[in-house]
Structure 1
Amino acid sequence: MAGRWGAVTVLASAQFVMTLDSTVMNVSISTVVKDLHTTIAAMQATITFYTLTMAAFMLLGAKLGDVWGRRRALIIGSIVYAVGSGTTALAPNIVVLFLGWSVVEGLGAVLVIPAIAALIADNYSGHARVTAFAVIGAASGVAVAVGPLIGGFLTTYASWRYVFAGEVVIMAIVLLFRNVVSDNGARKHLRIDVLSVLLSAAALVLIVYGLLQTKTWGWILPTQQDVTVLGLSPVPFIIAIGSVLLWLFFVRQRALIRQGRAPLLNTAILRLRQLRAGVGSLGIQYTVTAGLFFIVPIYLQLALGYDALATGLRIFPLSVALVLFSILGTALARRLSPKVIARIGQLGLVAASLVLLGSVDPKLNNWIFAAGMFLSGAALGLLASQLGNVTMSAVGDDELSEAGGVQGVYQNLGSSLGTALIGSVMIASLTTIFAGAVAASTLPADVQQEISSRTQGGVAVVAAADVPKIAQDAGLTSEQSDQLASIYSTSQLESLRLSFAALAFVSVGALFFSRNLPAQVLGRESEDEEEAAASS
């Protein structure tokens, strides 16, 4: 393991675990809800806040990597992450699960993820660096590929808790082989500005929390009359406050630079077109991935009644394609520029979203759905093979940790937005469609009024098979219960269709960021220089 590729093997193992947590539990949502006696909305918040914790404190993690040393940050972060995974494995309720997963694991990851990016750039150069970043992308792809299957298998035949116990073991292996990774970066003696940390964290938390609550409070007009601000939904006010805090964060960074003090983020690197294009494309990639991995398992499990393993198998075409095309993207990088490869991937995302939109039927049991999932994976794989190297190649060695932190922010903010935004589209549209369908149905007026009253604050996402019993317990006749179940199933289908449409809209936005991606093959010049030095 101590050979040329030992470092990337260790770092890819850590990256595998970071990504695994974002996909492995999605197929187990309904089981965890039952085991911990919680709700789908609570699980959505837990999944969202795991990535949001990382996004909110990623810049701090990157800066601590400069102060402590990148390898030491990797070590400390791996220990914290392992503690969080162990806590989650033993969680007796949703509160402990939230603390262990969303908070402790997230805080460990803010040290690990920027360190991975910086250490890859530190240990490799030329095309070897391109390949190493592609390996990191492939590790994420493998985690996406096997995550649903691991989660599905263990949840179906053992317990979802073993997933987190396994993560403790992998992080222990990373710690065991930590010395394989070289750290040539000099430590920086600087004081971290606490106000900057608070401003950035609060801003990101408020913005994503506001998006998360759209499903409950509405976008502008309130859906719950007892939760309003000036007669409107609290959402636009929360997002506005978050946006103001984000603006104040950037004002603070510029002030620190003028005073000769160390900023939490050197805003100058955000003026680099290549970096902006790389992290923007990365954010869109993770938004689409997280959105897909939230809405599809929810529909497969709750609308169609699949268990966790069957759900993982239905997602498998995306997973396989992601790994295969990550490898293909690495090979293409020797001949094609990141801009060409990424644009192929981004166009593939648009096409995949439209194919998935056309695949929606009551059972999702058709070749169109499988083709749409495979095409999604292929597009995401091409992007994964390029974007890490694009971002880190945009800066010098002194800014590797900072660039890794920015990359981690966009990556996890994209994941948070994917789960919050696309998930909220699904849940909010379910409420609207269901209410409209009930009002247009032949159900008696008193029954319609009772249903309207009970769903005033939103429609709970429940298994379609459970609706008849819920309806009968509420006093409806057997015939009315079956009619209501049919309405609910149709509403679930239409909400999935709207969610795929939202993914198509997000995918189109990805093309905006690819304009400034490098139009030349990366790594070729460094490789030529190394060969010339070796021959002289």
Structure 2
Amino acid sequence: MARWRALIVLGAAQFLMVLDTSVMNVSISQLVEDFDTEVTAIQAVITLYALMMAAFMAVGAKLGDILGRRRLFLIGLLVYGVGSGLTALAPTVGVLAVGWSVIEGLGAAMVLPAMAALVAETYRGPDRAVAYGVIGGLAGAGIAVGPLLGGWVTTYLTWRLVFAGEVVVVVAMLVCHRVITEVPRTGPRPRMDGVGAALSAAGLGLGVLGVLQSGSWGWVQPRNPPFTVLGFAPTLFFVAGSALVLYAFVAWERRRAARNADPLVHLTLLERPALRAGLLTMLSQNLILLGLFFAVPLYLQVVQGFDAFETGLRLLPVSVTMLLASLGASRFARKVAPRTLVRVSLLTLAAAVVWLLATIDPKIDDSQFAGAMALLGLGMGLLVSQLGNVVQSGALEEERSEAGGLQYTAQNLGSALGTALIGSLLIGALAQSFTTHVEDDPRLSAEAREQTGIALEAGVSFVSTDQVRAGAERVGLPPAEVDAVTEDYAAAQLKGLKAAVLATGGITLATFLVTARLPGRAEAGHGAQS
């Protein structure tokens, strides 16, 4: 039992940081109310958190090599605890973004790659597969507990208590730091690649910002951007700028490697087919999960009118089956190839998305919705149980931190893109559908269409039908037309949600393209690189 003590502390960090995001997702409506803001503002806060981790995860991995993985793990926990304390006290959405998105995000960028490397360093062979299964299970547990705990605390107390509790947990983990050991490093310590760090952060940031704002800016035709470029929306220019900066990053890293200088990332790692396929699948996994965990709570809270606790209860099936599947799948790892398990999980996810699409109606069918959520959790749990081990098994001992950095960069880039892309698709489809409904509705007068058009030009947000009704009454529309506008918006809400969920289904199917490079034998690669 003593050999698993370190895993308890290391896994607790994984649990805590997954719990954080799931609590925030289930509390969206309450955060909007508490800070007197809009859904898009909270979407931006959630996206920024994942983006900070994605942008600085490789930096955190390199710092682990420079300072020591154990030391950086503890420093990251301290930073994370400070961010949690500030989040608990945040008086404005700006302070919330600083405490949660920036400070906690930077803390997580230090903790997670160090954790992945320490797990791989501490456990070998079959134990490593078990350890990563436990880590995946604790991620599932965080998702399981987050919606329910966050929903209950948000509804009956305040969401701030969750973050105050995180400070207590961080302190307890720091007290138990002696159970974590590290093999002393030999040879010279690497140096930080400052230029590479700046280029990678800027490149990822530009791309995610463009995707995040695409719903309100438009992709080509400007909808409501702060500025235009040659008459076009700036979205694609941000994405193109991201591609150029990342190209410069790749060129810089190759140049440093050719000069035997320490690059931020050894790009030769990405030339290993299994490791590359594992990273791409991780990115897709988090894009799908976080995209759905942004859209589905909006459906439950804004369309169905459930509070945070009721939302958490309806998300419980996905959490429970994800936890059970991720813990149980480690038993199959010795007999079933990762490629097979990943493909089965993707098929399960695709079936869950189809089922979920059928449940998005004006009045929810709780049993059908619970079934779709349970199937979703089963597929996601099988997926998360495999990929950490695939990535780390494709790395040598001295590459553990760097592989961990790439692993969590892929995960959090997927999370950032999931919230940004699926959220922007939802808002864009909502705006398009609402516009079409209003233009085609014979119950509306020309004046009503004009008033609605003015409102749409100012930007559409995902709000309740009661708020739409109040807005229509405020501009003086007659009762019959108020009803018509409200019904049109309600129909557009459902179409927007279905478009967002359907997009996750498309991403799920597209992920099959990269699975051919995953290990085709059970426990592939463990012997040589354990």
TM-score, normalisation: structure 1: 0.96
Q: Superposed, which structure 2 residues align to 1:2-81 within 5 Å?
A: 3-81=2-80
Instruction: Specify the SS of the correspondent of 2:361.
Output: coil
Measured in 2, the distance between the counterparts of 1:498 and 1:314 equals: 21
Q: Superposed, which structure 2 residues align to 1:481-520 within 5 Å?
A: 481-520=482-521
Measured in 1, the distance between the counterparts of 2:172 and 2:136 equals: 20
Measured in 1, the distance between the counterparts of 2:184 and 2:61 equals: 13
The size of the alignment, in residue pairs, is 528
Cα deviation digits, residues 307-334 of structure 1 (max 9, x gap): 0000111111111110111122111112
State the partner residue of 2:157. Answer: 158
Deviation at 1:393, TM superposition (A): 0.5
State the partner residue of 1:474. Answer: 475
1:443 paired with 2:444, answer yes
State the partner residue of 1:95. Answer: 94
Q: For residues 140 and 211 of structure 1, do their structure 2 counterparts lie closer, same or farther at Cα, with a shift above 3 Å needed?
A: same
Report if the CA contact (8 A) 1:304-1:464 is conserved.
no
Report if the CA contact (8 A) 1:468-1:478 is conserved.
no
Instruction: Specify the SS of the correspondent of 1:262.
Output: coil
Report if the CA contact (8 A) 1:113-1:408 is conserved.
yes
Instruction: Specify the SS of the correspondent of 2:3.
Output: coil
State the partner residue of 1:142. Answer: 141
State the partner residue of 1:337. Answer: 337
Deviation at 1:11, TM superposition (A): 0.5
Report if the CA contact (8 A) 2:217-2:235 is conserved.
yes
State the partner residue of 2:373. Answer: 373
Amino acid at match of 2:276: R
Q: What root-mean-square deviation, in Å, do the aligned CA atoms of Structure 1 and Structure 2 show?
A: 1.6
Amino acid at match of 2:408: G
Amino acid at match of 1:465: D
Deviation at 1:172, TM superposition (A): 1.2
Deviation at 1:526, TM superposition (A): 4.3
Amino acid at match of 1:75: L
State the partner residue of 1:325. Answer: 325
Deviation at 1:173, TM superposition (A): 1.6
Measured in 1, the distance between the counterparts of 2:170 and 2:47 equals: 23
Which shows bigger deviation, 221-230 or 142-151? 221-230
Cα deviation digits, residues 457-514 of structure 1 (max 9, x gap): 4312212222222211121222222221111111111111111110111111111121
Report if the CA contact (8 A) 1:305-1:465 is conserved.
no
Amino acid at match of 1:481: V
Q: Superposed, which structure 2 residues align to 1:89-238 within 5 Å?
A: 89-186=88-185, 188-224=188-224, 227-238=227-238
Measured in 1, the distance between the counterparts of 2:296 and 2:422 equals: 11
Deviation at 1:170, TM superposition (A): 1.3
Amino acid at match of 2:465: A
Cα deviation digits, residues 136-164 of structure 1 (max 9, x gap): 10110000111000110000110000111
Q: Superposed, which structure 2 residues align to 1:231-246 within 5 Å?
A: 231-246=231-246
Report if the CA contact (8 A) 1:287-1:416 is conserved.
yes
Amino acid at match of 1:336: V
Q: For residues 422 and 226 of structure 1, do their structure 2 counterparts lie closer, same or farther at Cα, with a shift above 3 Å needed?
A: closer
1:315 paired with 2:315, answer yes
TM-score, normalisation: structure 2: 0.97
Report if the CA contact (8 A) 1:216-1:457 is conserved.
no
Report if the CA contact (8 A) 2:216-2:225 is conserved.
no
State the partner residue of 2:351. Answer: 351
Amino acid at match of 2:474: D
Deviation at 1:355, TM superposition (A): 1.5
Instruction: Specify the SS of the correspondent of 1:189.
Output: coil
Q: Superposed, which structure 2 residues align to 1:249-268 within 5 Å?
A: 249-268=249-268
Measured in 2, the distance between the counterparts of 1:525 and 1:409 equals: 23
Measured in 1, the distance between the counterparts of 2:455 and 2:467 equals: 17
Deviation at 1:366, TM superposition (A): 4.4
What residue ranges of structure 2 are gaps of 5+ in the alignment?
none
Q: For residues 265 and 29 of structure 1, do their structure 2 counterparts lie closer, same or farther at Cα, with a shift above 3 Å needed?
A: same
State the partner residue of 2:299. Answer: 299
Measured in 1, the distance between the counterparts of 2:439 and 2:454 equals: 12
Q: Percent identity among equivalent residues? A: 43
Report if the CA contact (8 A) 1:288-1:506 is conserved.
yes
What residue ranges of structure 1 are gaps of 5+ in the alignment?
531-536
Poorly superposed stretches of 4+, deviation over 4 Å: 523-527
Report if the CA contact (8 A) 2:155-2:308 is conserved.
yes
Measured in 1, the distance between the counterparts of 2:157 and 2:125 equals: 45
State the partner residue of 1:522. Answer: 523
Deviation at 1:523, TM superposition (A): 7.0
State the partner residue of 2:459. Answer: 458
Which shows bigger deviation, 458-467 or 256-265? 458-467
Report if the CA contact (8 A) 1:138-1:327 is conserved.
yes
Q: Superposed, which structure 2 residues align to 1:410-421 within 5 Å?
A: 410-421=410-421
